[in-house]
Chains A and B, each alone.
Chain A
Amino acid sequence: MKIAVCVKQTFDTEAKIVLKDGKISGDGINLIINPYDEVAVEEAIRIKEKQGGEVVVVCAGGDRATEAIRQALAMGADRGVHIKVNDPDVDEYARAVMLAEVLKEQGADLILCGHVAADDGSSQVPTRVAEILGLPHANVVTKLELGDGKAVCTREVDGGMEVMEVALPAVITCQVSLNEPRYPSMKGIMQAKKKPIANVDAVAVESKAKIIELALPAAKQAGKKIEGEPEDTGKQLAEWLLNEVKVEVKQ
């Protein structure tokens, strides 16, 4: 089975966001594979280990995106495609068009992605890619079983879980509870250096949604902080809940 995985390089989730000249500054920021995409990489490798095949990692991003691809290769993916995109503010529409263009050529049996990116939190790109490619999709998948040219997906929906079947090829987006991504081994890291990464230019496409202003949220002021015996502090907290927040107590 040929599996394509779309990964996005994002800021470390512990990174503090700083604005510089009205833009988000990447200075000194540790970059990682979007944690949800990392789960997609892991899932692809597990499928390959079980039934054979090839895992291709596709990443649209700037020069440093190579690091994200190398990490996926070190985990066990076979080769990478780096779509050169220098504008970090490219919107979801344009990003989907760029990825779809490359995925079309790859002709994978299965396309795996994270269901959301930890940076922009849009949850748009994989579903848009599926629409462009005319493929079925299943979002927010927590369990994936493949067989007979189809995928049986257990997925999170509002108010519960759903079991859904789609025919392959399909686009499937992963929730973090799907698996626990491995750390690359030393051997994997060494091997990754020799694995091929194809560099391609992004297809020319204009963004339709534009970021016109960035700001940092107003810092929340620390309020009261009390120490002491639990009998006293607990009582004060209860009083605050009742008198200030005006909570309703269910008996």
Chain B
Amino acid sequence: MAKGTWVVVDQRDGKIRKVTFELLSEAQKYGDEVTAVVIGKGVEGLAPELGKYGADKVLVADDDIFAVYNTGAFVAQMAAMIKEYDPAVILFGHTTMGRDLAARLAQKLGVGMATDCIAAEISPGKGVFTRAIYAGKALAKVQVEGTPILATIRAGVMEVVESNKAGEVVKAAVAATAGDVYQNVKEFIPTISTRPELTEAEVVVSGGRGLKGPEGVKVIEELADLLGAAIGASRASVDSGWLGHEYQVGQTGKVVNPNLYIAAGISGAIQHLAGMSSSKYIAAINTDPEAPIFSVADFGVVGDLFKVIPVVVAELKK
């Protein structure tokens, strides 16, 4: 009978994404053995770090073929290990790697799946997952039955707790072969930024139409850097070309849930509110006292961001 919870480790060049630790912490609640599954090249050394956050075991598939993530080899490896070890639940981070791998694997296994989940209830043979649909305008509980139960979990929603488990290394036989590879990765161009990634940031400072141009971007950047924050954008400032689409928060951009979200010059269109209103604290600065953003803001300032933000910056520097 299938048993145990697997957490698929999301890493690049040995650097583990935080969502992996969130999932290991979450998996403690299911009362079953927790295995971190790490597929890569030269990754065995990650075991102690994975143990610290809750991995009883660390299942390692180490080979040159896994040096760079490619769907075909990873799916073949996962399928072979699932067959051998028969896990009950497999969790992935809802990252570009996690959702790519999980979707193709789910279809290969012929199972249903819930993706981008914000809560999970696991019982034998059944998973009930909460998903924020319409970018958070509604919540759906999705039930998946059978084995294994697959789900991808949104980054930043599960709390990280250290539990200092053994992290005992189990070496898996390498099952993927060159014939499984159908994507030829030519190049990786890392984003050079001193700021955190938008979907992982504790603080996000976003700008909208009120930025009026590149000068406005500089204003929010100064505040962001003071707070160690990521920069975000509304559709208006992306469409105007002041910030790239990768910064867009909302239904056609990214959904964020930081500890603090500062909306500067953003009116708060419903599609933007959907992407950020689950933030713990929200501050808004807008010249229009009737702007919808104020309906979700914990602290709203009616005023011109070009005048208000420099004062905030000066005060914070004191």
Residues of A within 8 A of B (CB): 11, 13-17, 19, 24, 35-36, 91-93, 96, 118-124, 127-128, 130-132, 136-140, 152, 156-167, 175-177, 207-217, 220, 222-228, 230-231, 233-242, 244-245, 247-251
Contacts and interface: CB of A to CB of B under 8 A. Distances in A.
Given A222-B295, A226-B301, 7 more contacts: A121-B132, A121-B134, A161-B188, A164-B184, A215-B138, A217-B139, A220-B282
Nearest to B146: A208
B228 A250 contact: yes
Interface stretch (B28-36, B163-171, B307-315): B307-315
A54 B295 CA distance: 48
A163 B227 contact: no
A43 to B, nearest CB: 15
A234 B133 contact: no
B108 interface: yes
B245 A131 contact: no
B283 A237 contact: yes
A150 to B, nearest CB: 9
B317 A249 contact: yes
B42 to A, nearest CB: 19
A127 B251 CA distance: 21
Nearest to A96: B107
Interface of B: 10, 12, 17, 71-72, 95-97, 99-100, 102-104, 106-108, 110-116, 128, 131-146, 182-191, 197, 203, 225-228, 244-246, 250-252, 255, 259-260, 269-271, 277-278, 281-283, 285, 289, 294-304, 307-312, 314-317
Contact of A230 (B133, B255, B295, B308): B308
Contact of A16 (B270, B285, B289, B297): B270
A216 B310 CA distance: 38
B135 A237 contact: no
A230 B307 CA distance: 6
Looking at B71, B297, B299, which has the most chain A CB atoms within 10 Å of its CB?
B299
Contact of A215 (B99, B106, B139, B298): B139
Contacts of B197: 158-159
A210 B17 contact: no
B108 to A, nearest CB: 6
A209 B115 CA distance: 11
B213 to A, nearest CB: 20
A213 B140 contact: yes
B95 A208 contact: no
With a 10 A CB-CB cut-off, give which of B103, B303, B310 has the most chain A CB atoms.
Answer: B103
Contact of B112 (A138, A158, A209): A209
Contacts of B113: 92-93, 124, 209
Given A158-B197, A234-B309, A237-B308, A224 B299 contact: yes
Ranked 3 nearest A-B pairs via Cβ: A234-B311, A208-B112, A238-B315
A227 B302 contact: yes
B227 A250 contact: yes
Nearest to B138: A17
A137 B71 contact: yes
Contacts of B114: 209
Contacts of B251: 13, 118
Nearest to B271: A13
A67 B251 CA distance: 22
B185 to A, nearest CB: 5
Most buried by B among A209, A224, A239, A247: A209
A96 B282 CA distance: 39
Nearest to B225: A250
Contacts of B146: 208
A230 B311 contact: yes
A170 to B, nearest CB: 8
A119 B132 CA distance: 10
A209 B143 contact: yes
B16 to A, nearest CB: 12
22 contacts: A13-B251, A118-B134, A123-B115, A124-B113, A127-B100, A132-B107, A160-B188, A162-B189, A209-B113, A209-B114, A216-B139, A217-B136, A217-B277, A222-B295, A223-B297, A228-B303, A234-B303, A237-B308, A238-B312, A241-B260, A244-B299, A247-B227
A137 B111 CA distance: 19
Contacts of B144: 208-210
A17 B299 contact: no
A17 B137 contact: yes
